[in-house]
């Protein structure tokens, strides 16, 4: 302050306060909310739980080590079980086919002097047409002198997914407690014993069974049924179910009302099939139902066991003709139903 400027005269404090002109700029700077005590002290932020040392940033801070470990193990188990289930459900089906048996000839040499086990090519190719693996199941002999083994037919039932009983020699009347009326109808008792055991092992393992021709007759015998040893002799009014045309011998079948096949082929209550057999079901076995009969003479042409997911016998030969035939019944739906049952019951 300059020495030339006089000091302002002192004012006596009279106790009165004079109004000071308001400064508009100052008013704008004053907050609208009233001041509170200690407003100059900043409010402390809400306290948060401290992150444990080494805890991943993505992990919930309130998650205990035990909870985290349990979730980790649960996720790992789910991933492993999903992978295992995918492998099981996508695994190619393995279908067993019973063997035909060629017995040694008395004066035979070479292969004719040996016991041969084989399957007909058409039955294997029919099953394989649905992209499944086919295995012929040989007979087993735990008491063999040359090569004894501990393998049993139940081992095949355990490891395979389904069974097809193929056609071939007659079923022996001895297998259903009847005397043979003619020597040529004696059948193959050895094969009967082998296939009957195989049939019951697969049923006990809850695996599906499909019998073709002889296989249909064997299923009936397996449950206590009997057979006509020769249709022409036992049922004179019947049509010819076998002749020299063999795989070109056709006749019509009619599906029984309410049957599984009747529902499957609802648009075709009567259909043409390739049926070649001189024996047939006479007395129906226990817990079996008739699925189809010959349209003309009512000879049984298909049966089903009621107490299993899929055990069915067809007297005709679906493997002897091409699928999608305009004239003959396309039995692919039957094969697919059998294979679906095999997939559903293999675990």
Adjacent-strand bridge partners of 318: none
pLDDT the model gives residue 54: 63
Residue 321 pLDDT level (bands cut at 50, 70, 90)? confident
Alpha carbons 148 and 141: distance in angstroms, whole number: 7
Share of the chain above pLDDT 70, in %: 79
Q: Which of 253, 300, 298, 303 is nearest to 274 (CA)?
A: 253
Task: Output the CATH code of domain 84-224+300-344.
Answer: 3.40.50.880
Q: Which of 213, 251, 291, 295 is catalytic?
A: 213
- Write down the residue that tokens 């035979």 correspond to: 108
> In sequence order, which residues have a C-beta less than 8 Å from that of residue 62 and are 6 or more positions away?
49
Q: What's the mean pLDDT in 154-162?
A: 97
Q: Which of 201, 291, 301, 319 is catalytic?
A: 319
pLDDT the model gives residue 39: 47
pLDDT the model gives residue 339: 97
Q: What's the mean pLDDT in 261-288?
A: 95
Catalytic, 319? Answer: yes
Adjacent-strand bridge partners of 271: 253
Q: What's the mean pLDDT in 313-340?
A: 91
Alpha carbons 271 and 35: distance in angstroms, whole number: 100
Q: Which of 315, 137, 128 is nearest to 228 (CA)?
A: 315
Alpha carbons 332 and 96: distance in angstroms, whole number: 18
C-alpha R_g of the chain: 44
Catalytic, 317? Answer: yes
In tens, the pLDDT along 179-191 reads 999 999 999 999 9
Q: What's the mean pLDDT in 263-275?
A: 93
In tens, the pLDDT along 23-51 reads 555 544 555 555 444 544 555 555 555 55
Two tokens, residue 174 = 């001895």
pLDDT the model gives residue 160: 97
Share the mean pLDDT of the chain: 85
Quickly count: other Cβ atoms within 10 Å of residue 266's Cβ: 9
3-state SS class at 192: helix
In tens, the pLDDT along 44-98 reads 555 555 555 666 666 676 777 787 788 788 888 888 776 666 665 669 999 999 9
In tens, the pLDDT along 1-11 reads 544 555 555 55
The DSSP letter of residue 143 is T
């Amino acid at each position: 302050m300059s020495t030339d400027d006089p000091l302002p005269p002192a004012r006596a404090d009279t106790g009165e306060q004079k109004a000071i002109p308001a400064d508009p700029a100052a008013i704008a700077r004053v907050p609208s909310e009233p001041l509170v005590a200690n407003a100059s002290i900043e409010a402390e932020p809400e306290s948060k739980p401290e992150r444990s040392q080494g805890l991943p940033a993505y992990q919930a801070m309130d998650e205990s080590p035990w909870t985290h470990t349990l979730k980790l193990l649960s996720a790992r188990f789910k991933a492993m079980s999903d992978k295992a289930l995918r492998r099981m459900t996508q695994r190619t089906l393995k279908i067993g086919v019973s063997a035909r048996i060629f017995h040694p000839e008395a004066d035979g040499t070479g292969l004719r002097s040996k016991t041969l086990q084989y399957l007909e090519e058409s039955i294997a190719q029919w099953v394989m047409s649905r992209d499944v693996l086919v295995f012929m199941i040989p007979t087993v002999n735990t008491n063999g002198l040359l090569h004894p083994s501990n393998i049993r037919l139940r081992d095949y039932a355990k490891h395979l997914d389904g069974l097809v009983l193929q056609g071939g020699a007659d079923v022996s009347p001895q297998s259903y407690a009847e005397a043979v009326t003619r020597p040529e109808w004696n059948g193959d008792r050895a094969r009967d014993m082998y296939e009957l055991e195989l049939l019951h092992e697969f049923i006990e393992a809850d695996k599906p069974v499909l019998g073709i021709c002889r296989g249909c007759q064997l299923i009936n015998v397996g449950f206590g049924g009997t057979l006509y040893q020769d249709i022409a002799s036992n049922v004179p009014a019947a049509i010819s179910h076998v002749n020299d045309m063999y795989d070109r011998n056709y006749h019509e079948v009619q599906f029984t009302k309410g049957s599984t096949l009747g529902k499957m082929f609802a648009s075709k209550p009567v259909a043409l099939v390739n049926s070649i057999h001189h024996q047939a079901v006479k007395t129906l076995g226990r817990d079996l139902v008739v699925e189809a009969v010959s349209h003309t003479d009512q000879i049984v042409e298909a049966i089903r066991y009621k107490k299993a997911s899929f055990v069915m016998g067809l007297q005709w030969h679906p493997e002897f003709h091409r699928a999608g035939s305009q004239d003959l019944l396309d039995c692919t739906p039957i094969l697919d139903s059998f294979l679906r049952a095999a997939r559903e019951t293999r675990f």
